[in-house]
């Protein structure tokens, strides 16, 4: 089966065929770095990560460009309020975004570019649009003349008849009912950052930034452009108009858009008190891997209803997979092979691949692997699993994890690495085990869930030291002390698993 994706441009599922052999040019609209990104933003970024991983899995060589919008209405407003230069103000959020990305195991795009580093290229494109009659100046600003571009509205399917020629809008964001000539270049305003350019002093509008940065690195026509559904209008519609008017060529071949994330069935908003950045969730003790899993688990064109219940389930699902892999590698099985079981592992792999080829149906891809885990666990319990079967199951797990990236337990180490030591100490326990910890630091969350916390966590080195001491005690046949150490570790949330090859440990 070949990859089929839903193209917003044609409004249907289409077979994906890149412009050049197995090379894919992809542009994703990055964050506007005026605040910490919220989980709705990360829903889109996780989807784009899954997309890029799947393209690579299918053997494509990827050139993925992501921009950082560090000049627009929002960044200017906030930097002014903070009394900082645009660069100083946005730097903090660029750094935070990078840290968040690593915590969520988002792969780095091949090229990440700041809008303010491409101002000259924006000026050139605007000059071309003026020369070709698609743009005009008014009071120091330059506007795109929507009526001059006959294909305007092709992505959004909007009716242009209501648009009054020459009516203009200066804001970067507006709705379809306000479709009108939009600003490519905004005249200098008192107290705002500006660039001295052949267009006059001013700064670029938001939409021109992405047209310029995408074509600069990917060419005038490229394969994939993606973002959240809220970007379809006006941002992407305007990108198409600017780019195609300037080059006379099709701009993008496949447009992919991720649906909204809602929280407990409601639109996320600060006024409803259900607005969460990634950092808000970390502060409440949730693991980055569980957040990634939850954001990835719902296919990107469906609304994702984010709940804390869902986060708990995500954490449990990950544990189940990790425990299965541990069992697969640590438990001793009788020699030989069970061909039927190996076929089961390969069939699961096939089902996972088919699901991903079907417009990245992550829910089915997860289902395929969990069904396999259930069957394998049953076979192990009944003594039907053979040592020679390990490889087939490990192979399917490894392939699956190339996309989902949650099997390695990196949360604790990475949180500490990035300065979230407190958060790492206070991981929320999966709900099923919360009862055992009641009275030892359980707390009630805003949404009513009662959640137990690990009272104490040890560093990796401390754990290794305890295990070494326990081994020493066992060698000396001091089993009482060895047992005590094991129990103490367990209280601190560390589980030991003894096997022929030594003692492995993991955090609960």
Nearer to Zn ion, 43 or 425 (CB): 43
Q: Stretches 21-29, 150-158, 281-289, 481-489: which one binds Zn ion (CB under 5 A)?
A: 21-29
Rounded Cα gap, residues 205 and 174, in angstroms? 13
List the one residue out of 122, 94, 280, 128 whose CA is nearest residue 195.
122
From the CB of 31, what's the least distance to Zn ion, in Å?
10
Q: What are phi and psi of 369, to 5 degrees?
A: -75, -40
Which residues, at least 6 apart from 388, have a Cβ–Cβ distance to it below 8 Å? 335, 336, 337, 338
Interaction between residue 246 and Zn ion (CB under 5 A): no
Residue in the structure block whose two tokens are 């719902």: 298
Nearer to Zn ion, 31 or 288 (CB): 31
Give the residue, chosen from 46, 68, 210, 281, that forms a contact with Zn ion under the rule CB under 5 A. Answer: 210
From the CB of 356, what's the least distance to Zn ion, in Å?
26
**HEC letters along 2-19:** CCEEEECCCCEEEECCCC
Please state whether beta strands 494-499 and 252-258 pair in parallel, antiparallel, or not at all (unpaired).
Answer: unpaired
From the CB of 396, what's the least distance to Zn ion, in Å?
37
Q: Stretches 117-125, 179-187, 206-214, 462-470: which one binds Zn ion (CB under 5 A)?
A: 206-214
x/- binding map, residues 40-59, to Zn ion, per CB under 5 A? --------------------
From the CB of 29, what's the least distance to Zn ion, in Å?
3
Which two three-digit tokens encode residue 359? 């417009």
Q: Stretches 25-33, 252-260, 436-444, 461-469: which one binds Zn ion (CB under 5 A)?
A: 25-33
Rounded Cα gap, residues 349 and 279, in angstroms? 34
From the CB of 28, what's the least distance to Zn ion, in Å?
8
Nearer to Zn ion, 182 or 286 (CB): 182
Give the residue, chosen from 3, 9, 26, 29, that forms a contact with Zn ion under the rule CB under 5 A. Answer: 29
* DSSP code for 152: T
From the CB of 214, what's the least distance to Zn ion, in Å?
8
Nearer to Zn ion, 110 or 337 (CB): 110
Interaction between residue 281 and Zn ion (CB under 5 A): no
Interaction between residue 379 and Zn ion (CB under 5 A): no
Interaction between residue 130 and Zn ion (CB under 5 A): no
Please state whether beta strands 304-306 and 261-263 pair in parallel, antiparallel, or not at all (unpaired).
Answer: parallel
Q: Distance from first CA to last CA of the chain, Å, rounded?
A: 39
- Burial of residue 216 (CB within 10 Å: 0-12, 13-18, 19+) is middle
From the CB of 79, what's the least distance to Zn ion, in Å?
20
From the CB of 377, what's the least distance to Zn ion, in Å?
45
Residue in the structure block whose two tokens are 């081994």: 471
Please state whether beta strands 443-444 and 450-451 pair in parallel, antiparallel, or not at all (unpaired).
Answer: antiparallel
List the one residue out of 438, 493, 434 whose CA is nearest residue 466.
493
Residue pair 408/355 in contact by the 8 Å Cβ criterion:
no
Interaction between residue 473 and Zn ion (CB under 5 A): no
Number of residues interacting with Zn ion: please give it, by CB under 5 A. Answer: 2
From the CB of 215, what's the least distance to Zn ion, in Å?
12
Nearer to Zn ion, 216 or 506 (CB): 216
From the CB of 239, what's the least distance to Zn ion, in Å?
7
Q: Stretches 22-30, 33-41, 398-406, 464-472: which one binds Zn ion (CB under 5 A)?
A: 22-30
From the CB of 235, what's the least distance to Zn ion, in Å?
5
Residue pair 216/124 in contact by the 8 Å Cβ criterion:
no
Interaction between residue 184 and Zn ion (CB under 5 A): no
Q: Stretches 210-218, 299-307, 345-353, 386-394: which one binds Zn ion (CB under 5 A)?
A: 210-218
Which residues, at least 6 apart from 181, have a Cβ–Cβ distance to it below 8 Å? 143, 144, 145, 146, 165, 166, 167, 168, 169
Residue pair 36/42 in contact by the 8 Å Cβ criterion:
no
Residue pair 506/409 in contact by the 8 Å Cβ criterion:
yes
Interaction between residue 33 and Zn ion (CB under 5 A): no
Interaction between residue 208 and Zn ion (CB under 5 A): no
In order, the DSSP letters of 221-234 are SEEEEEEEGGGIII
Rounded Cα gap, residues 489 and 456, in angstroms? 10
Interaction between residue 365 and Zn ion (CB under 5 A): no
Nearer to Zn ion, 55 or 65 (CB): 65
Q: Stretches 28-36, 92-100, 346-354, 460-468: which one binds Zn ion (CB under 5 A)?
A: 28-36
Q: Binding residues for Zn ion, per CB under 5 A? A: 29, 210
């Amino acid at each position: 089966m070949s990859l089929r994706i839903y193209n917003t441009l044609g409004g249907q599922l289409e077979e994906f065929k890149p412009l050049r052999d197995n090379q894919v040019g992809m542009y994703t609209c990055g964050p506007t770095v005026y605040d910490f990104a919220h989980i709705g933003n990360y829903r889109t970024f996780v989807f784009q990560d899954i997309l890029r991983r799947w393209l690579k899995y299918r053997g494509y060589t990827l050139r993925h460009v992501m921009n950082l919008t560090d000049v627009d209405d929002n960044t200017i407003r906030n930097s002014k309020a903070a009394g900082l230069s645009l660069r100083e103000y946005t730097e903090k959020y660029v750094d935070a975004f990078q840290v968040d990305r690593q915590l969520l195991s988002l792969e780095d795009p091949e090229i990440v570019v700041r809008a303010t580093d491409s101002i000259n290229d924006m000026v050139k494109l605007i000059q071309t649009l003026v020369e070709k009659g698609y743009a005009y100046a008014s009071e120091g600003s330059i506007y795109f003349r929507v009526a001059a571009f006959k294909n305007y509205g092709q992505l959004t399917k909007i009716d242009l008849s209501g648009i009054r020629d020459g009516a203009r809008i200066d804001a970067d964001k507006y709705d379809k009912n306000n479709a009108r000539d939009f600003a490519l270049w905004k005249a200098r305003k008192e107290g705002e950052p500006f660039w001295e350019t052949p267009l006059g002093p001013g700064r670029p509008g938001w939409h021109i930034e992405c047209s310029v940065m995408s074509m600069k690195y990917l060419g005038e026509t490229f394969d994939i452009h993606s973002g959240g559904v809220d970007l379809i209008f006006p941002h992407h519609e305007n990108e198409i108009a600017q780019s195609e008017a300037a080059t006379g060529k099709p701009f993008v071949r496949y447009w992919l858009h991720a649906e909204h994330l809602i929280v407990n069935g409601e639109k996320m908003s600060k006024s409803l008190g259900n607005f969460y950045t990634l950092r808000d969730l970390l502060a409440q003790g949730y693991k980055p891997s569980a957040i990634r899993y939850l954001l990835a688990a719902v296919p990107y064109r469906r609304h994702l209803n984010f709940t804390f219940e869902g986060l708990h389930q995500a954490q449990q699902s990950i544990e189940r997979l990790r425990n299965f892999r541990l069992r697969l590698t640590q438990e001793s099985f009788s020699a030989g092979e069970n061909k039927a079981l190996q076929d089961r592992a390969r069939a699961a792999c096939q089902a996972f691949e088919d699901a991903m080829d079907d417009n990245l149906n992550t829910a089915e891809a997860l289902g395929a692997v969990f069904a396999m885990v259930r069957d394998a666990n049953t076979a192990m319990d009944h003594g039907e699993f053979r040592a020679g079967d390990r490889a087939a199951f490990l192979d399917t797990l490894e392939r699956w994890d190339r996309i989902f990236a949650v099997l390695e337990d990196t949360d604790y180490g990475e949180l500490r690495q990035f300065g979230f030591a407190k958060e790492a100490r206070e991981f929320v326990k999966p709900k099923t085990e919360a009862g055992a910890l009641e009275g030892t630091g359980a707390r009630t969350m805003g949404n009513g869930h009662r959640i137990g916390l690990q009272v104490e966590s040890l560093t990796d080195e401390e754990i290794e030291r305890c295990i070494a001491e326990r081994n020493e005690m066992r060698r000396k046949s001091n089993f009482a002390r060895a047992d005590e150490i094991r129990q103490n570790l367990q209280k601190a949330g560390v589980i030991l698993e003894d096997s022929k090859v030594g003692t492995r440990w993991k955090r609960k």
